[in-house]
Amino acid sequence: MRIWIAGAALVLPVLGAQAAQVGVQPGAGATPGAQGLSPAAAVSPPVASVAPAPPAAPVVPALTPVSLEIGADLGSKTSKSGDTFPIRLHEAIVIDGKELVPAGATGMGEVVEARHTGMSGSSGILILAARYLDISGHHLRLRSMHLAENGTSRIGTANGLGIAGAVIPGVGFLALLTSGDDVSVRSGSVAAAKTAEDFTLITSSGALPAASAAIASKETTQ
Protein backbone atom coordinates (compact mmCIF):
# COMPACT_ATOMS: atom_id res chain seq x y z
CA MET A 1 0.00 0.00 0.00
CA ARG A 2 2.75 2.44 0.86
CA ILE A 3 4.52 1.63 -2.38
CA TRP A 4 1.33 2.24 -4.41
CA ILE A 5 0.79 5.72 -2.87
CA ALA A 6 4.39 6.67 -3.50
CA GLY A 7 3.96 5.68 -7.18
CA ALA A 8 0.91 7.90 -7.49
CA ALA A 9 2.81 10.80 -5.98
CA LEU A 10 5.51 10.36 -8.61
CA VAL A 11 3.00 10.34 -11.47
CA LEU A 12 1.38 13.64 -10.51
CA PRO A 13 4.41 15.90 -10.98
CA VAL A 14 4.99 14.29 -14.39
CA LEU A 15 1.41 15.11 -15.41
CA GLY A 16 1.86 18.63 -14.13
CA ALA A 17 4.95 19.07 -16.23
CA GLN A 18 3.14 17.83 -19.35
CA ALA A 19 0.28 20.24 -18.79
CA ALA A 20 2.68 23.12 -18.37
CA GLN A 21 4.37 22.35 -21.68
CA VAL A 22 1.18 22.86 -23.67
CA GLY A 23 0.13 25.89 -21.65
CA VAL A 24 -3.09 24.42 -20.33
CA GLN A 25 -5.22 26.74 -18.27
CA PRO A 26 -5.32 25.88 -14.56
CA GLY A 27 -8.15 23.49 -13.76
CA ALA A 28 -9.10 22.94 -17.37
CA GLY A 29 -6.65 20.42 -18.76
CA ALA A 30 -5.89 18.27 -15.70
CA THR A 31 -9.11 16.26 -15.73
CA PRO A 32 -8.64 14.39 -19.02
CA GLY A 33 -5.08 13.54 -18.07
CA ALA A 34 -6.27 12.03 -14.79
CA GLN A 35 -8.63 9.58 -16.46
CA GLY A 36 -6.05 6.83 -16.72
CA LEU A 37 -4.96 7.07 -13.09
CA SER A 38 -5.87 4.90 -10.17
CA PRO A 39 -8.82 6.05 -8.02
CA ALA A 40 -6.53 7.46 -5.34
CA ALA A 41 -4.68 9.65 -7.82
CA ALA A 42 -7.88 10.85 -9.52
CA VAL A 43 -9.30 12.00 -6.18
CA SER A 44 -6.22 14.07 -5.39
CA PRO A 45 -6.66 17.61 -6.72
CA PRO A 46 -3.88 18.15 -9.28
CA VAL A 47 -4.33 21.94 -9.45
CA ALA A 48 -1.43 22.73 -7.21
CA SER A 49 1.00 20.92 -9.48
CA VAL A 50 -0.09 22.59 -12.80
CA ALA A 51 2.16 25.39 -13.96
CA PRO A 52 0.57 28.86 -14.20
CA ALA A 53 -0.84 29.69 -17.61
CA PRO A 54 1.41 31.81 -19.81
CA PRO A 55 0.35 35.46 -20.06
CA ALA A 56 -2.28 36.07 -22.74
CA ALA A 57 -0.91 37.26 -26.05
CA PRO A 58 -1.30 41.04 -26.35
CA VAL A 59 -4.11 42.16 -28.63
CA VAL A 60 -4.52 45.44 -30.48
CA PRO A 61 -8.32 45.84 -30.47
CA ALA A 62 -10.27 46.80 -33.56
CA LEU A 63 -10.89 50.53 -34.00
CA THR A 64 -7.78 51.51 -32.04
CA PRO A 65 -6.80 55.02 -33.22
CA VAL A 66 -3.43 55.18 -34.95
CA SER A 67 -1.37 58.11 -36.15
CA LEU A 68 0.21 57.61 -39.56
CA GLU A 69 2.83 59.47 -41.53
CA ILE A 70 2.49 59.64 -45.31
CA GLY A 71 5.73 58.47 -46.91
CA ALA A 72 5.51 60.07 -50.34
CA ASP A 73 4.50 63.28 -52.08
CA LEU A 74 0.97 62.83 -53.41
CA GLY A 75 -1.24 65.11 -55.43
CA SER A 76 -4.41 65.27 -57.47
CA LYS A 77 -2.24 66.28 -60.41
CA THR A 78 0.54 63.71 -60.02
CA SER A 79 -1.13 60.67 -58.42
CA LYS A 80 -3.46 58.18 -60.06
CA SER A 81 -6.37 56.24 -58.59
CA GLY A 82 -5.05 52.87 -57.44
CA ASP A 83 -1.50 54.05 -56.77
CA THR A 84 0.01 52.79 -53.53
CA PHE A 85 2.26 54.74 -51.22
CA PRO A 86 4.31 53.98 -48.09
CA ILE A 87 3.03 54.84 -44.64
CA ARG A 88 4.74 54.77 -41.26
CA LEU A 89 3.39 54.55 -37.74
CA HIS A 90 3.92 58.05 -36.37
CA GLU A 91 3.16 57.27 -32.71
CA ALA A 92 3.49 53.91 -30.96
CA ILE A 93 0.31 51.93 -30.32
CA VAL A 94 -0.06 51.81 -26.55
CA ILE A 95 -2.73 49.63 -24.93
CA ASP A 96 -3.24 49.73 -21.16
CA GLY A 97 0.04 51.52 -20.72
CA LYS A 98 2.03 48.94 -22.69
CA GLU A 99 3.68 49.80 -25.99
CA LEU A 100 2.51 47.01 -28.30
CA VAL A 101 3.65 48.40 -31.64
CA PRO A 102 6.57 50.84 -31.71
CA ALA A 103 6.54 53.97 -33.81
CA GLY A 104 8.21 53.51 -37.17
CA ALA A 105 6.36 50.36 -38.28
CA THR A 106 5.88 50.62 -42.02
CA GLY A 107 2.94 49.76 -44.23
CA MET A 108 0.98 50.69 -47.30
CA GLY A 109 -1.71 53.15 -48.29
CA GLU A 110 -3.70 53.53 -51.50
CA VAL A 111 -4.88 56.45 -53.57
CA VAL A 112 -8.61 55.79 -53.79
CA GLU A 113 -9.36 58.77 -56.03
CA ALA A 114 -7.12 61.28 -57.75
CA ARG A 115 -8.69 63.74 -60.12
CA HIS A 116 -6.84 66.55 -61.79
CA THR A 117 -8.49 69.96 -62.10
CA GLY A 118 -10.69 70.24 -65.15
CA MET A 119 -12.25 72.87 -67.34
CA SER A 120 -15.08 75.07 -66.14
CA GLY A 121 -13.72 75.57 -62.65
CA SER A 122 -13.76 72.03 -61.28
CA SER A 123 -11.23 71.41 -58.52
CA GLY A 124 -8.74 68.62 -57.97
CA ILE A 125 -9.73 65.71 -55.71
CA LEU A 126 -7.50 63.42 -53.69
CA ILE A 127 -8.86 60.61 -51.49
CA LEU A 128 -6.41 58.40 -49.65
CA ALA A 129 -6.86 55.22 -47.62
CA ALA A 130 -4.53 53.39 -45.25
CA ARG A 131 -4.39 49.65 -45.97
CA TYR A 132 -2.08 47.98 -43.47
CA LEU A 133 0.97 48.12 -41.21
CA ASP A 134 3.51 45.34 -41.45
CA ILE A 135 4.00 43.83 -37.99
CA SER A 136 6.59 41.03 -37.97
CA GLY A 137 5.55 39.96 -41.45
CA HIS A 138 1.82 40.08 -40.77
CA HIS A 139 -0.60 42.76 -41.87
CA LEU A 140 -2.37 44.84 -39.27
CA ARG A 141 -5.25 46.04 -41.42
CA LEU A 142 -6.25 49.68 -41.18
CA ARG A 143 -9.37 51.69 -41.98
CA SER A 144 -11.00 55.09 -41.62
CA MET A 145 -8.18 57.31 -42.85
CA HIS A 146 -10.31 60.07 -44.20
CA LEU A 147 -7.74 62.26 -45.81
CA ALA A 148 -10.02 63.50 -48.57
CA GLU A 149 -9.08 66.87 -49.94
CA ASN A 150 -10.83 69.05 -52.47
CA GLY A 151 -9.06 71.93 -54.12
CA THR A 152 -10.76 75.30 -54.41
CA SER A 153 -13.61 74.99 -56.88
CA ARG A 154 -14.33 77.80 -59.30
CA ILE A 155 -17.40 76.21 -60.84
CA GLY A 156 -19.53 79.10 -59.61
CA THR A 157 -17.25 81.61 -61.30
CA ALA A 158 -17.18 79.58 -64.49
CA ASN A 159 -20.96 79.21 -64.51
CA GLY A 160 -21.29 82.97 -64.00
CA LEU A 161 -18.99 83.57 -66.95
CA GLY A 162 -21.02 81.09 -68.94
CA ILE A 163 -24.20 83.03 -68.28
CA ALA A 164 -22.44 86.27 -69.17
CA GLY A 165 -21.24 84.55 -72.33
CA ALA A 166 -24.84 84.27 -73.47
CA VAL A 167 -24.93 88.09 -73.62
CA ILE A 168 -21.32 89.02 -74.35
CA PRO A 169 -19.78 86.99 -77.19
CA GLY A 170 -16.49 85.33 -76.31
CA VAL A 171 -16.88 85.38 -72.54
CA GLY A 172 -18.26 81.86 -72.56
CA PHE A 173 -14.87 80.51 -73.63
CA LEU A 174 -13.33 82.05 -70.51
CA ALA A 175 -15.71 79.88 -68.50
CA LEU A 176 -14.39 76.75 -70.16
CA LEU A 177 -10.80 77.82 -69.54
CA THR A 178 -11.34 78.57 -65.86
CA SER A 179 -9.88 75.86 -63.64
CA GLY A 180 -9.93 75.11 -59.92
CA ASP A 181 -7.00 74.29 -57.67
CA ASP A 182 -5.15 71.01 -57.38
CA VAL A 183 -4.57 69.27 -54.05
CA SER A 184 -1.27 67.99 -52.74
CA VAL A 185 -0.19 66.05 -49.66
CA ARG A 186 3.45 66.35 -48.72
CA SER A 187 5.60 63.44 -47.59
CA GLY A 188 5.67 63.53 -43.80
CA SER A 189 2.06 64.69 -43.44
CA VAL A 190 0.34 63.01 -40.50
CA ALA A 191 -3.13 61.51 -40.71
CA ALA A 192 -5.35 59.62 -38.28
CA ALA A 193 -6.75 56.15 -38.96
CA LYS A 194 -8.02 53.13 -37.03
CA THR A 195 -7.22 49.45 -36.87
CA ALA A 196 -9.73 47.38 -38.83
CA GLU A 197 -9.89 44.28 -36.60
CA ASP A 198 -8.50 42.66 -33.48
CA PHE A 199 -4.84 41.85 -34.05
CA THR A 200 -3.08 39.38 -31.78
CA LEU A 201 0.63 39.99 -31.61
CA ILE A 202 3.11 37.16 -32.04
CA THR A 203 4.31 35.67 -28.75
CA SER A 204 7.95 35.58 -27.72
CA SER A 205 8.08 31.83 -28.41
CA GLY A 206 7.33 32.56 -32.06
CA ALA A 207 3.99 30.79 -32.09
CA LEU A 208 1.28 32.60 -33.94
CA PRO A 209 -1.94 32.79 -31.94
CA ALA A 210 -5.15 31.71 -33.61
CA ALA A 211 -6.43 35.15 -34.54
CA SER A 212 -3.22 36.18 -36.24
CA ALA A 213 -2.93 32.80 -37.92
CA ALA A 214 -6.37 33.33 -39.40
CA ILE A 215 -5.34 36.76 -40.62
CA ALA A 216 -2.14 35.38 -42.10
CA SER A 217 -3.91 32.58 -43.94
CA LYS A 218 -6.46 35.05 -45.29
CA GLU A 219 -3.71 37.25 -46.64
CA THR A 220 -1.90 34.42 -48.34
CA THR A 221 -5.05 33.37 -50.15
CA GLN A 222 -5.64 36.89 -51.48
Residue 76 or 212 having the CB closest to other proteins: 76
| Rounded Cα–Cα distance for residues 75 and 123 (Å) | 12
Residue 29 or 179 having the CB closest to other proteins: 179
Please give the DSSP secondary-structure letter assigned to residue 154. Answer: -
Question: Cβ of residue 12: shortest distance to other proteins, in angstroms?
Answer: 50
Contacting residues for 161 by C-beta, under 8 A, at least 6 apart: 171, 172, 174, 175, 178
| Rounded Cα–Cα distance for residues 14 and 17 (Å) | 5
* 83 burial via Cβ count (<10 Å: 0-12, 13-18, 19+): middle
210: Cα within 13 Å, side-chain hemisphere: 1
Question: Cβ of residue 158: shortest distance to other proteins, in angstroms?
Answer: 6
Residue 19 or 125 having the CB closest to other proteins: 125
Residue 19 or 87 having the CB closest to other proteins: 87
Question: Cβ of residue 173: shortest distance to other proteins, in angstroms?
Answer: 10
Strands (DSSP E) along the chain, which ranges?
A: 59-60, 65-70, 74-75, 84-89, 93-95, 98-101, 106-115, 125-135, 138-143, 147-150, 184-185, 190-195, 199-200
Q: What type of residue sits at position 16?
A: G
Chain residues that interact with other proteins, rule: CB under 8 A: 81, 112-113, 118-123, 125, 127, 129, 143-144, 146, 148, 150, 153, 155, 158-159, 161-163, 172, 175-176
Residue 172 or 209 having the CB closest to other proteins: 172
